Structure 1
């Protein structure tokens, strides 16, 4: 039958003398659904001209083919005046429902920029609330595909209240189900707080932006001139602010990576991450590790090579790759099971911990603990970054966040000390003293309060000063200090590491330890919640 307009269908359904067969009405209903799904052709063309996909095209890329089940497709806003009474499109600018990713249920909602610029109104918000409630009730991941112009001005405070309902649900779902925000267009003002409350934020270069106040307002208030991308583009948030965890060049790649991330996560906090068949032997020797890490503690190397060597097939998904590069946080698998890896990166700032690295690692540790992902910590850390700016910026407070996160974590935890581990940073990087289940060290490890040079200058200051040859005396005392307190087996002799291992066996040792810890249980004191450092 010929497709009718929405107005013609509504008039026909509303006619008092309309007596149509169920078959006829069903055919008309199918036509209505098809018309709504197709949307306005001109608006679709405008969306494509911007290099952007439509909401439904995005949903189709995210979910397994043919699995999307839409809710409230025919919902419309109430006529409120201010130019909206004659513009009441179905869906009200958001598409929502559920489907599967690799056969596992996932909920999704996607702003439709073709309708009111994706702006949020009362009905629009109610649809999102519905999807979020269903996701929490079903215990399944929630993905939001964001491409909207903020609150719908014509609906006033009801639009703002809609955002409040989203924020409340984001918070209630935090740590219960994985929440993933994908930025595929603008996200300004209060709307930006929902992604900030979720577990992961993905962005697409050139087409997505996030900011609280836009360039025009900033220029009016401060006189600063900046473009939208310069203010809140993907690279800004992935590399400078740390708001975005991932940034990609196009929507297709971005959504494919979202699918990959979902396969690494459990459906909810009561389940384990899915295990997969693995052809990479758990006891595969890693002889290349013997050449990757220099014996000289001052020489840098790329810790990513070490991480890849111990993970299945060298496959890792690095979180916050472009922000706080002195620490690596990544998801991968060992023996077919998801693990979270936290590792110092000697290639950046010698791998020290600073404010941003502490924040980055702390949130990642909390995420892994919330979703039953075991933690592997690879340590090569010279300490915390010294400096007035770090102290005034609150390195004590921010460093305590990482300490708190590890101490609070109940998932299996294994620490491996590759080379050096000095001072408070050694303690913070999941040492035995703060509760790691197993601690191992490579045979070139140095665990100490500080490096031998600095320690000798402090401990033997008077002896060096009184010597006829201070430099020769200092060098001799450095060697003695190393031999007595920094030799590779000092910590093992005192039970602070479980074993000193052959680096080539690192993967095998980790796999065996994680297998043993799979049934780990922890009894915690009753409390409403902790009060972590701000």
Structure 2
């Protein structure tokens, strides 16, 4: 047996001895708990390229700030050899500590005990920690490295997962919930990360799926590896299940700490501010050359965000998935903001099914946690095609529309160049509730591009003309001149001002400062019915 396999009624249960003797016995017991399983189990963990559970805890929390809960908990299961193996902690470390000086709760599976599998006592420890996080109003981080339900404990293990899922749903939008996949996460266990706000995965060691490769091959005949089925890059770039994919555990936990620095502790607080060292009135002359005036030329919107935000520093969410829209946390004048931006470098910035779902989720998360929204628009419309229509672009596009319409946080829109059709409306236009809308002098706000509009409006005239191309070009120019000039929307009050690109940072910061005390109540209702 390992050092943690203590017999019932062993040292911790002694009734004799002085207080000093008992205290010394407790210290030795706690030391063995901290030491964890033996060298063999730890060696296996190392050979898989994984850190131990205590090393992960140390990387997540500020130094010496972690307080453990129920370290002496042990299972009560009988049969199947369980009586002979009853390690303290039962394969999960739970507790709280400080991250950047603020309280954060965490549970971490220890794969060295029962493969991190969840049993009754294991689940009850997590339930208790989740209840504490909810009561204290502090973020919850789950470090997942477990083999699913503990088969030897039967249905009680499944009930344990149910208790976790129920709490995930109850705490949603109340405190930030983060899942970090650092090993296997299969079957029902995968639903808890799906219910949380952000999911991280570590390349090469993390896998997440409902049914494993063996079952997939038996049912479908397709041969697939664990990484191909549910690895970090698959979920970060194809399925969209993971918001972050990291190369190693150290980078992953450092990014978790970075994310927590942008989030409030709960939905009753504002996100943490920092004293701004980057001048609020800093000009953005670089933007005058960075963004081409020609709406058909591509550029990287990340360069625009970098130029505008404090110190050029931002944290992108879902960077590898639905790359035609950018979602990121940043600071403007020391205040946290959520940035939603078209990405002309990918599909010309057109919205599709995945981009709509990605942005909608981000908008909803920002609204839940009192994070103002800045929307940078350069969108030619929704991506056309049979696949998009049959895949439900109407329903998925409506998710983004619903999220913006339902958001009560400060909302500022900036139109850089093109903003066409329904995509213009969906990207937080004034008509759906943006508090302020600005545009650069290169903006083109219209039902559609001039070429398409001319083909519709003047179709018969162009077809009957002796020189159709000349007439078409003339009508395109006319449409641009009358309906797409940069001041058309401003003249009608749909844009609050046309601003110089060089003044973008100053304009956004002043607007967010003014809106900092915004209060917008919603109608009395149980909840809305969004187009899931």
TM-score (norm 1): 0.98
Q: Is residue 435 from structure 1 mapped to residue 454 from structure 2 by the alignment?
A: no
Contact in 2 for aligned 1:443/1:502 (Cα 8 Å): yes
Match of 1:236 in 2: 234
How big is the shift at 1:49? 1.6
Relative to structure 1, is the Cα distance of residues 262 and 296 closer, same or farther in structure 2, using a 3 angstrom cutoff? Answer: same
How big is the shift at 1:468? 1.5
Match of 2:472 in 1: 474
2-structure distance, mates of 1:260, 1:39: 29
Query: Over residues 161-191 of structure 1, what are the superposed CA-to-partner deviations in whole Å (9 max), with x where a residue is unaligned?
Result: 0000000000000000000000000000000
DSSP 3-state at the match of 2:445: strand
Contact in 1 for aligned 2:408/2:521 (Cα 8 Å): no
2-structure distance, mates of 1:396, 1:5: 56
Query: Over residues 19-71 of structure 1, what are the superposed CA-to-partner deviations in whole Å (9 max), with x where a residue is unaligned?
Result: 31111101110110010110122211211121101111101100001111000
How big is the shift at 1:13? 5.0
Relative to structure 1, is the Cα distance of residues 471 and 8 closer, same or farther in structure 2, using a 3 angstrom cutoff? Answer: closer
Relative to structure 1, is the Cα distance of residues 515 and 144 closer, same or farther in structure 2, using a 3 angstrom cutoff? Answer: same
2-structure distance, mates of 1:14, 1:269: 43
Query: Over residues 62-109 of structure 1, what are the superposed CA-to-partner deviations in whole Å (9 max), with x where a residue is unaligned?
Result: 000111100000000003111111111110000000000011000000
2-structure distance, mates of 1:254, 1:160: 29
Match of 1:203 in 2: 201
DSSP 3-state at the match of 1:110: strand
How big is the shift at 1:5? 7.3
DSSP 3-state at the match of 2:511: helix
DSSP 3-state at the match of 2:270: coil
CA RMSD for the aligned pairs? 1.2
DSSP 3-state at the match of 1:85: helix
Relative to structure 1, is the Cα distance of residues 181 and 337 closer, same or farther in structure 2, using a 3 angstrom cutoff? Answer: same
DSSP 3-state at the match of 1:229: helix
Runs of 4+ aligned residues of structure 1 deviating over 2 Å after TM superposition are 4-15
1-structure distance, mates of 2:315, 2:77: 47
How big is the shift at 1:492? 0.2
Match of 1:163 in 2: 161
Relative to structure 1, is the Cα distance of residues 186 and 13 closer, same or farther in structure 2, using a 3 angstrom cutoff? Answer: closer
Contact in 1 for aligned 2:142/2:178 (Cα 8 Å): yes
Structure 1 segment 345-384 matched on structure 2, within 5 A: 345-384=343-382
TM-score (norm 2): 0.98
Relative to structure 1, is the Cα distance of residues 233 and 12 closer, same or farther in structure 2, using a 3 angstrom cutoff? Answer: closer
Relative to structure 1, is the Cα distance of residues 414 and 136 closer, same or farther in structure 2, using a 3 angstrom cutoff? Answer: same
Match of 2:87 in 1: 89
2-structure distance, mates of 1:187, 1:79: 23
How big is the shift at 1:10? 4.3
1-structure distance, mates of 2:165, 2:376: 35
How big is the shift at 1:8? 7.6
1-structure distance, mates of 2:284, 2:5: 65
Structure 1 segment 43-62 matched on structure 2, within 5 A: 43-62=41-60
Q: Which moved more, 1:447-456 or 1:5-14?
A: 5-14
Structure 1 segment 272-291 matched on structure 2, within 5 A: 272-291=270-289
Query: Over residues 110-156 of structure 1, what are the superposed CA-to-partner deviations in whole Å (9 max), with x where a residue is unaligned?
Result: 00000000000000000000110000000000000000000000000
1-structure distance, mates of 2:308, 2:516: 18
DSSP 3-state at the match of 2:374: strand
Query: Over residues 379-402 of structure 1, what are the superposed CA-to-partner deviations in whole Å (9 max), with x where a residue is unaligned?
Result: 000000110010000000000000
Match of 1:106 in 2: 104
1-structure distance, mates of 2:165, 2:375: 33
How big is the shift at 1:6? 6.0
Relative to structure 1, is the Cα distance of residues 5 and 433 closer, same or farther in structure 2, using a 3 angstrom cutoff? Answer: closer
Contact in 1 for aligned 2:12/2:26 (Cα 8 Å): no
Match of 1:342 in 2: 340
Aligned length: 530
1-structure distance, mates of 2:248, 2:332: 30
Unmatched runs of 5 consecutive residues or more in structure 2: none
Contact in 2 for aligned 1:9/1:28 (Cα 8 Å): no
Unmatched runs of 5 consecutive residues or more in structure 1: none
Q: Which moved more, 1:291-300 or 1:41-50?
A: 41-50
